């Protein structure tokens, strides 16, 4: 493993103001987006598991560590061992509702982590580097007890956070947040909450305080797939064991034209059109890798979710469109047959 000489975020709890917290949250969201797009849910995000690599380390910056209890978001319900740190666990995690696990589960933990890092005088508005108005709404959405009312992806949380002022602001918020050590989840007073109709949950969209939630809008589609956080090449790790080599995906080379074309076609889909793209080539030419790249990058940026259908010569229980829908919902909610059938009918009409 890499050596992180800067220690962990645990030593920085109750030490940060807004100008230091904002870029840190954006870096953590970028890291979570990378993991979530590859189907990995961390499930134990907390200050002690965020490490700092100094300028003297091989790769300076923050690192999310300890994926010991991480699981695939599309794993079968009941698979794996449940665990976590209670102060940072979401309601679905504490209650063992594995079918509700998803990116929003880690986002709940990140909301708790943000509160744990802020100074007391920043929270009550008595400090010059106080959080801006609107941050309390952002935290409220991150900490909503119901998964379908949180941000669906890390990219959605980034898009909302980017709307807040970069530096300190005189128009401070006056949030009423619980201490990070409290096991009680906050009541929701934010004016905007995620309201997508969750599969199999006919009560989605209702809030206990009777407020009418606003419609949630996804991030805008970026014309360039690279983005600010994209790195064309990964820095080498010459001083580390070669046994780690298999854990890093081999980068694709010379595929810029294909990347640009696929991203342009996805943009047409996002704008409201339906497109069919067939990747042709001999075995081993990278057709599957290109499709995986498009699915992962689209989810990283929050512009689309990918659904994978298998069509083998001999049909099995994992083949076909119905199995595709069930796999997609397997990491979020258990869909009822009526909703699954309705979804497939609408898909066929397209």
What amino acid positions are annotated as catalytic residues? 44
**Rounded Cα–Cα distance for residues 286 and 292 (Å):** 10
**Rounded Cα–Cα distance for residues 190 and 180 (Å):** 19
Angle between helices 287-300 and 18-37 in degrees, nearest 10? 150
Q: Tokens at residue 27, please? A: 């870096």
Scanning 271-336, the segments in alpha helix (DSSP H) are 287-300, 321-330
**Rounded Cα–Cα distance for residues 25 and 35 (Å):** 15
Closest to 293 measured CA to CA, from 311, 328, 103, 301:
301
**Contact by Cβ (8 Å): 125, 169:** no
Tally the residues of the chain. 350
Closest to 153 measured CA to CA, from 112, 110, 114, 185:
110
266 backbone φψ class: left, alpha, beta (φ>0; ψ -120 to 50): alpha
Alpha carbons within 13 angstroms on the beta-carbon side of residue 143 total 27
């Amino acid at each position: 493993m890499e050596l992180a000489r800067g220690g962990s975020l645990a030593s920085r709890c109750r030490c940060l103001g807004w100008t230091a917290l904002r870029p840190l949250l954006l870096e953590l969201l970028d890291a979570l987006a990378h993991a979530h797009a590859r189907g990995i849910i961390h499930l134990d995000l907390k200050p002690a598991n965020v490490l700092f690599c100094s300028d003297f380390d091989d790769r300076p910056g923050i690192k999310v560590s300890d994926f010991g209890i991480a699981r695939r978001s599309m794993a079968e319900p009941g698979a794996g061992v449940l665990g976590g740190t209670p102060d940072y666990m979401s309601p679905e995690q504490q209650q063992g509702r594995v079918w509700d696990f998803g990116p929003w589960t880690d986002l709940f933990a990140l909301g708790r982590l943000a509160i744990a890092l802020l100074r007391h005088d920043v929270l009550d508005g008595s400090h010059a580097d106080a959080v801006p108005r609107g941050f309390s709404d952002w935290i409220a959405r991150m900490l909503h007890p119901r998964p379908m009312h949180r941000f669906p992806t890390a990219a959605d949380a980034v898009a909302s956070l980017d709307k807040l002022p970069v530096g300190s602001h005189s128009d401070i918020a006056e949030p009423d947040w619980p201490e990070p050590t409290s096991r009680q989840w906050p009541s929701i007073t934010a004016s905007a909450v995620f309201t997508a109709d969750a599969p199999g949950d006919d009560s989605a969209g209702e809030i206990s305080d009777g407020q009418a939630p606003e419609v949630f809008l996804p991030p805008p589609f970026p014309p360039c797939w690279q983005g600010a956080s994209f790195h064309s090449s990964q820095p080498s790790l010459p001083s580390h064991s070669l046994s780690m080599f298999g854990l890093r995906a081999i980068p694709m080379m010379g595929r810029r034209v294909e990347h640009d074309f696929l991203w342009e076609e996805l943009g047409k889909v996002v704008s409201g059109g339906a497109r069919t793209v067939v990747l042709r080539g001999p075995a081993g030419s990278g057709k599957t890798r290109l499709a995986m790249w498009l699915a992962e990058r689209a989810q990283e940026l929050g512009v689309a979710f990918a659904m994978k259908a298998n069509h083998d010569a001999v049909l099995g229980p994992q083949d076909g469109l119905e199995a595709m829908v069930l796999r997609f919902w397997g990491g979020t909610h258990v869909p009822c047959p009526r909703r699954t059938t309705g979804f497939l009918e609408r898909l066929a009409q397209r």
